[in-house]
Amino acid sequence: MKSTVIVYICCLCLLAFSCDSRPKQNPKYTPATSATDSVINSGGKVAVENYREGARMIAANDCFTCHRVEEKTIGPSYREVAARYHFNDGNVENLAHSIMYGAKGLWGEREMTPHPGLEKRDAMEMARYILSLDTTNKAN
């Protein structure tokens, strides 16, 4: 009788551990590709590993209210920004400043909303990601 109860308890434990109630990962995304990467990058491409954190920060903030990767909406597309400014330390610094403190007149009359709560290092990561999107390799 005692051994039957032990076997029964063991079976219940195995059954409980075998029933994984956690949601299954979306098979659309490979382990190297998150849903954030898929939203941020066009054509299913993922951000280059060096700039993925900046891409995640853009998705986590309100950036998509005014910007898209490929198309101009309220503000310029990220590809337009990347095509205009070469990827260098000075442009990363300037773009990070615009992200944190806002800007006006660089892309028309609309004013870019400031994001003063962002840490400078985070704004710089975001700027690096944006500038990494340049596919033109030419200056304006």
Annotated binding site for heme c: 63, 67, 112
Residues making up the binding site: 63, 67, 112
CA distances from 65 to 5, 20, 112, 124 (A): 60, 37, 11, 20
Nearest to 118 by CA among 95, 96, 88: 96
25, 35 Cβ separation under 8 angstroms: no
